[in-house]
Structure 1
Amino acid sequence: MGDKHVGVAGGRVSSPRSVAIIGPFASGKTTLLEALLARTGAIGRQGSVDAKSSLGDSSDEARDHAMSVEANIATCTYKGENFTFIDCPGSVEFLHEGNSALNGVDIAVVVAEPDEKKTAALQLILKALEQRNIPHVLFLNKIDKATGSVRAMLQALQPASSVPMVLRQIPIWENGTATGYIDLALERAFVYQEGKPSKTIEVPDDERAREVEARYAMMEMLADHDDVLMEQLLEDEAPENDIIFGDLVQEMRRGEICPVFIGSAIKGNGIRRLLKCLRHDAPDIVDTRKRLGLKETDAVVQVLKTYQTSHGGKLSVARLFGGSLKEGALLYDSQGQEYRPSGLAQMQGLQPKKVTEAVAGDLVALGKLDGIETGMTLCVGAKPPKLLFVPSSPDPVLSKGISATERKDEVRLSTALAKLVDEDPSLTVTQVQSTGETVLDGQGEMHLRVALERLTGRYGLAVNSFEPRIPYKETIRGSTELRGRHKKQSGGHGQFGDVVLSIQPVPRGEGHSFNDTITGGVVPKQYIPSVREGVKEALEKGPLGFPVVDVGVTLKDGSYHAVDSSDQAFRMAGILAMKDGLKECKPVLLEPVDKVVVACPSETTARINAIVSGRRGQILGFDARADWDGWDEVEAMIPESELSDLIVELRSATAGVATFSRNFDHLAELSGKAADKVIESATVLA
């Protein structure tokens, strides 16, 4: 990997830095990665997402949909220092990919468009960084397409951030187009040059007043955390540039401000200035260890991303926080379990490049570590590692039933699904006992579509997908007492079982009960368990076609034959009594109802309430979302049958940012045409 600790100007020694590129969907993150790699010489020319020539988003699924569907990793060298960039998906359906990687970064570059309609989506990104105290800067992309005041646009985006967004650069406008920028810290102006570094010029006279005003506004924000600077401003003293630069760096690293840079990734404008910021201002592995509570002696790695490759097998990409890791070295988990990677590699997009050693700060792909999952902490050496934070997977919001088209592929499907979940923990696979279906749960339409495409394209499986069945139940409103007699004579010993059962409803949620009041041995004790077994079997499918719940059964009477009675005969007698008896007890259909909590921007709450009500939902109330400025949480009871595509409608109403959690709450009676339709469908399926 070369010499990782390179001396730089001023005697500073830097370790490899890890940088997240993160931001809302379609903000230009992958294009920014291309621009950074091109300007550092890591790639020969800047690729294009639209032309499907980018190093990032090189998977078939990403290129087919022209969007990031997984984290992309690439390494470059800039002025003797090594940087690894993790380009994180921006769609809310794939955000967990970025959240898993954030533990392993020193700083994040948040890419945003000058579009206030993206404020809520930007807030999702910034919240994840703020909650984990990750230093970050904002790159206001597509400045070439911006109209109006950048400062006004920043004010519109400010509600997304809990800390001040501090503008470090302002554009130079010419005929409504940004032709360059003024660096407020350097007090220098730069003119963009296509394919070349920006040209330094004097601040134009007609921009001087705007520059002075914007610089003073920047210093006022910095002074909120620096009493010396505040005093200088109050006394109209001109602070030295070293103070300004020092405050910008330290306040960013402490999470007190979010510095803002401007540029255009697709045109390469502002990229070198961003690189210089990362080189001079970004924390290194020493600072990151302190933030994570690690000591210098903690030679630990955390797995940030798992790839299931078609040729190289499983790759676990991990950040090394201390020490060094050589090829063939052993790793240990917190239980002392031993692992030996099959090799070490550096990722450049989806292409691994073999290396022999990694040092503190490196991101390295570990080969074929079976049993290792994304988020796990491992130690180089037998000492138990300090466990690092692992973000929990978001609650699933959309489900699809899935089956192999050909029965012979069922085992292969199970194996492939396990690999998908290993690679993407925000997917879950559930075997639903009540319906016998395999259900794939995920974060939205595109998330599940990509998963299905991987099953077909990567694993060569033909699969069917369908709406999972709703686990309806039925119960009874009335009571009855009924005799069930099973009598059969076929030569030799016959079969005889005779029971009288009392059937009645019990309170909702109490389940089944079985008792007997047999006296005088009219049903011998050894046959009573068989009657119970028959009752239980009959309750598995009631007269409406669904499992029966909340029923009390009492065995009251019966008779037996000394020769022909048997366990089987009394089991059949119990089944017959129940089958006929349940029909007389006014059976009623029950549908599952979930308690749902929808998180949404406050300005969309009224629309969300209307959507919920339109899905037979009972709104319980709404309140401000804790620690989320400008967001609400709506609580409601919604029938499970109404939840299948709820997320699609919610996101359509909220510019793609709403989400929800759900938990089963109770069963509710369903009658009328809706019940008739469910029963008719069940009859067809049967």
Structure 2
Amino acid sequence: MGDKQHTHPGAAGRALAADRPTSVRNVALVGHSGAGKTTLVEALALTAGAVNRAGRVEDGGTVSDYDDIEHRQHRSVQLSLVPVEWDGIKVNLLDTPGYADFVGELRAGLRAADAALFVVSASDGVDGATRMLWEECAAVGMPRAIVITHLEAARSDFEEMTRICAEAFGADDPDAVLPLYLPLRGPEGADGHAPVTGLVGLLSRKLYDYSTGERKESEPGADRLPDLDAARDRLIEGIIAESEDETLMDRYLGGERVDVKTLVQDLERAVARGSFFPVLAAAPAAEGARQGLGTIELLELVTGGFPTPFEHPLPRVAAVGGEPRELKPCDTEGPLVAEVVKTASDPYVGRVSLVRVFSGTLRPDLTVHVSGHGLADRGHEDHDVDEKVGALSMPFGKQQRPVPHAVAGDLVCVAKLSRAETGDTLSAKDDPLLMEPWRMPDPLLPLAIEAHSKADEDKLSQGLARLVAEDPTMRLEQNQDTHQVVLWCLGEAHADVALERLRSRYGVQVDVVPHRVSLRETFAAKAGGRGRHVKQSGGHGQYAICEIEVEPLPGGSGIEFVDKVVGGAVPRQFIPSVEKGVRAQAARGVAAGYPLIDVRVTLVDGKAHSVDSSDAAFQTAGALALREAAADARIHLLEPVAEVGVLVGDEYVGAVMSDLSGRRGRVLGTEQVGSGRTLIRAEVPEFEIGRYAVDLRSLSHGTARFDRAYARHEPMPPQVAERVREQAGGSA
């Protein structure tokens, strides 16, 4: 790599449509927030001719312009596609958010990609979240390369960052993480920092000078050869170690010279199968320059070393009924199978779906079957409908440029799929298929909202439906116990973006209110009550008297009703009425207004009137009896307890366990999970973990994750219960 002559007519002003899968590369750029992914995408687009020297497309925006929220928050909050062309290859650059709250967009980008480019800042290094993401990619065998940015920063050190990357990413084989180029630094400035002006190709043994704004090739001077050759020898040994030719290492160690063409071919094969991870350097072009440092080398690696869609394992596919289907990877003539990897709303064309085509060819005006994705618990209904595909297009800044088709392996934007949501499968209407969905993170931060005004209330449900259609990492809950509308998000930034989109995109203003936990009540000891409902006011009166005994039951028992009336004191036809009244009052609560559970109510006696007794009267008497029993009894407030599993690095185990104890949690045990990680299992009251998604991220520097599941309700400590009663305006 580094010695090719390139012809690239540029993509500015025209849409790119691939005619065969071999001419497509799908690459996700990943890394922590602020590493420079979006800047790098724009630099690659400039070098490839997709934008002009000012970094603008024809509409005046940058090539990655899409969401106004991103400009206001100065960070990427969603996946964006930037297609460029290099040496006849269409490269779909998928710019993913680096902030942890938008990991759903990142995973969508990985689903659509065939390789990942890890962007690492020389000034910030490799954080724990980036290490976890590397492991996630390794688990699915995704090919990866590393690009180091921000080399212009003072005290930046490419060699040191390469060593850090080898330690962080090359745990099994540090010699599989090696640089292909070394930075060429110019004279030191007044601050003592020598800027990077070019690169030295280790395989080509050429200098590539970018100081003029365009790459110029030359031979290295004799003074550079010793350092160059030492790094070159290590790179060659790393490449040969991954070679499919098992005799090559012995021949090389025996003194045989391996030609560069063979090395490049072995390198490209090792990168494509995910066993070698080259390190490169890149920087944006200076003002007025045409090429950013390292961008040509990156495009060479992507087009030559990253795999074609043919080499991407097809996600599992089944008929809608569940029968598995075996499909050829990337068969342009095969049955249509495509997946919606992102859904967005455009103010002019409506809903726009970013689709990855895995099999067949997608064309405009085709009627397809939309198969739903099994996220009904998050407010995303399952789909099983036919829809007509609208126009196909490629994004360029805020423009959508039409394309005639999308072959297997390519990505395309589809208009007017009004029912399809992120994660849905598109297939032929006469052969409906369903792809196995990718794993979505669970949203664990609750955001309770109310419409700001009556006008907002009228638009709220539609706005929320459109919001969750775009974002499958968000869960919409209509809590029947607390009567709150709750958006479950991944973190505070995720919640902020949701509120901003409701306001600016859907015209809905909402107020955030405190999130309420679903509490319960129960009797602490046995008690009795008498309900007397007697009224005489002319005509038919109302007459019903009943006596009950209430006793607590074990957790999970619900409400038991037992009839022990003897002698017909309460006529048989009115006993169900008493039970109905008791259960209705239990649902309303007897102390602080929370549902009563886990008690046995026994009807022991009562009185009736031959004329004035009625179903309604005995319902009222039953409710009064339960209230009277509660008035003289000690009532426990029950809070929900969650079973929590926290996966955390060993260095944070002590801090996490201490924090859980401070939340009234009970640690049930720990177990080692892989190398350097521990799974902590605990039971914690839900009152104490409303913001745990935010607090745990801070505590573990973004490296821990947790899950939660309802375990049971159990009595609150008296001091906590008293505080809750005061807030609810109740009394015990």
Q: What is the match of residue 328 of structure 2?
A: 294
Name the CA shift for 1:388/1:130 in 2 (closer, same or farther; >3 Å): farther
Asked if the contact 2:151/2:157 (under 8 Å) is kept, the reply is no
**Shift in Å at residue 459 of structure 1?**
1.2
The alpha carbon displacement at 1:684 in A equals 7.7
Aligned partner letter, 1:275: L
Relative distance call for 1:155 and 1:119 in structure 2 (3 A) is farther
Whole-Å Cα distance in 2 between the matches of residues 411 and 657 of structure 1? 41
Aligned residue for 1:548, secondary structure, equals: coil
Provide closer, same or farther for how the CA distance between residues 206 and 466 of structure 1 changes in structure 2, counting only shifts above 3 A.
Answer: farther
Match of 2:70 in 1: 62
Give the alignment partner of residue 458 of structure 1, picking from 505, 513, 521: 505
Moved more, 675-684 or 25-34: 675-684
CA shift, 1:161, in A, is 5.2
Check the 8 A contact 1:301/1:377 in 2, yes or no.
yes
Residue of structure 2 equivalent to 1:259: 278
1:440 to 487, 491, 500: 487
| Separation in 1, partners of 2:625, 2:285 | 76
Shift of 1:534: 1.1
- The residue aligned with 2:289 is none
**Does residue 183 of structure 1 match 2:229?**
no
Residues 344 and 364 in structure 1, CA contact (< 8 A), matched pair in contact too: yes
The correspondence for 2:300, drawn from 268, 276, 281, is 276
Moved more, 70-79 or 170-179: 170-179
**Kept in 2: contact 1:30–1:57 (CA 8 A):** no
**Cα 1:22–1:630, aligned 2, differ >3 Å: closer, same or farther?**
same
Stretch of structure 1 that moved more, 118-127 or 454-463? 118-127
Matched, 1:573 2:634: no
What is the one-letter code of the residue matched to 1:170?
Answer: L
Matched, 1:341 2:389: yes
Give the letter for the 2:626 counterpart.
Answer: M
**Distance in structure 1 (CA, Å) of the matches to 2:645 and 2:428:** 43
- What residue is the counterpart of 2:406 in the other structure? 358
Judge conservation of contact 2:647–2:704 (CA < 8 Å) in 1.
yes
Partner in structure 2 of residue 651 of structure 1: 697
Which residue in the other structure is 2:342 paired with? 305
Report the counterpart of residue 80 of structure 1 in structure 2.
88
Counterpart in the other structure of 1:10: none
Q: TM-score, normalised by structure 2?
A: 0.87
Q: Does 1:328 align with 2:345?
A: no
Residues 1:666 and 2:712 are matched in the alignment: yes
CA distance in 2, matches of 1:3, 1:614: 57
Alpha-carbon distance, 1:146 to partner: 6.7
1:467 aligns with 2:514: yes
Q: Does 1:505 align with 2:552?
A: yes
Letter in 2 for 1:638: V
* Cα offset, 1:300, TM superposition: 2.4
What is the one-letter code of the residue matched to 2:180? R
* Equivalent of residue 250 in structure 1, options 269, 278, 281: 269
Aligned partners of 1:564 and 1:23: how far apart in 2?
A: 76
**Is the alpha carbon distance of 1:243 and 1:112 closer, same or farther for their aligned partners in structure 2, counting shifts above 3 Å?**
same
Q: Which residue of 1 aligns with 2:562?
A: 515
Q: Which of residues 476, 480, 484 in structure 1 aligns to 2:527?
A: 480
Q: Is 2:41 aligned against 1:33?
A: yes
- 3-state SS of 1:539 partner: helix
Give the drift of 1:149.
5.2
Give CA-to-partner distance per residue, 1:413-432, whole Å, 9 cap, x none: 11111111111110110000
Structure 2 CA distance for aligned equivalents of residues 339 and 294 of structure 1: 25
556, 560, 563: which one aligns with 2:608? 560
- Distance in 1 (CA, whole Å) between partners of 2:24 and 2:693 is 41
Change (3 A) 1:512 1:160: farther
**Does the Cα contact within 8 Å between 2:17 and 2:403 map onto a contact in 1?**
no
Q: Which is worse superposed, 421-430 or 376-385?
A: 376-385
Instruction: Confirm or deny: 8 A CA contact 1:99 1:128 kept in the other structure.
Output: no
For 2:18, the equivalent position in structure 1 comes to: 4
Instruction: Name the CA shift for 1:366/1:118 in 2 (closer, same or farther; >3 Å).
Output: same
Deviation digits for residues 236-291 of structure 1, max 9, x if unmatched? 33322122112211111111121111122365211111111112222223333668
CA spacing shift, 1:554–1:336, aligned 2, 3 Å: closer
Query: Does residue 131 in structure 1 map to residue 139 in structure 2?
Result: yes
Q: Which amino acid aligns with 2:344?
A: Y
CA distance in 1, matches of 2:562, 2:170: 63
Q: Is structure 2 residue 542 aligned with structure 1 residue 495?
A: yes
Native 8 Å contact 1:127 1:161 kept in 2: no
Q: 1:320 to 1:672 in 2, by over 3 A?
A: closer
> 2: distance between equivalents of 1:604 and 1:57?
39
Task: State the shift of 1:219 in Å.
Answer: 2.6
| Matching residue's letter, 1:100 | A
Counterpart position of 1:593 = 641
TM-score by length of 1: 0.92
Q: 1:323 to 1:308 in 2, by over 3 A?
A: same
Question: 1:291 & 1:240 partners in 2: Cα distance?
Answer: 38
Instruction: Report how far residue 613 of structure 1 moved.
Output: 2.4
Q: How many residues align?
A: 673
Give the superposition deviation at 1:73: 1.2
CA distance in 2, matches of 1:499, 1:389: 58
Deviation of 1:308 (Å)? 1.6
Matched, 1:407 2:441: no
- What is the root-mean-square deviation of aligned Cα atoms in Å? 2.6
Q: SS of the counterpart of 1:468? A: coil
- Percent of aligned positions that are identical: 32
Which residue number in structure 2 is paired with residue 114 of structure 1? Answer: 122
Equivalent-residue separation in structure 2 for 1:670 and 1:24 (angstroms):
41
Contact 2:574-2:614 at 8 Å conserved across structures: yes
Partners in 1 of 2:709 and 2:284 — Cα distance? Answer: 43
Q: Alpha-carbon deviations, 1:195-226, whole Å to 9, x = none? A: 322x3232343332222222222233333333
Q: Post-superposition shift, 1:153?
A: 2.5
- Pair 1:207-2:255 in alignment: no
Match of 1:228 among 233, 237, 247: 247
Cα offset for 1:660? 1.7
Q: Does 1:167 align with 2:179?
A: yes
Q: Could you report, residue by residue, the CA deviation over 1:559-588 in whole angstroms, capped at 9, with x for unpaired residues? A: 100001001111111111110101223111
Q: CA deviation at 1:232?
A: 2.5
CA separation of 1:218 and 1:684: change in aligned 2, threshold 3 A = farther
1:316 aligns to 2:353 (yes or no): yes
Q: Distance in 1 between matches of 2:104 and 2:618?
A: 56
Higher mean C-alpha deviation, range 654-663 or range 673-682: 654-663
Residue 19 of structure 2 is aligned to residue 16 of structure 1: no
Q: Secondary structure in 2 aligned to 1:248? A: helix
Structure 2 CA distance, aligned partners of 1:595 and 1:381?
Answer: 43
Task: Specify the code of the residue in structure 1 equivalent to 2:349.
Answer: G
Sort the Cα spacing of 1:508 and 1:359 in 2 relative to 1 into closer, same or farther, 3 A: closer
Unaligned runs of 5+ in 2: 1-14, 287-291, 317-326, 372-382
Q: Tell me the SS of whatever aligns to 1:145.
A: coil
Paired with 2:598 and 2:328, the residues of 1 have a C-alpha distance of 55
Q: Distance in 1 between matches of 2:671 and 2:62?
A: 44
* Deviation of the 1:539 alpha carbon: 1.3
SS in 1 for 2:450: strand
- How far the C-alpha of 1:603 sits from its partner, in A, is 2.2
The Cα offsets for residues 645-680 of structure 1, whole Å up to 9 and x where unpaired, read as 222222222333432211111223223332211110
Unaligned runs of 5+ in 1: 7-12
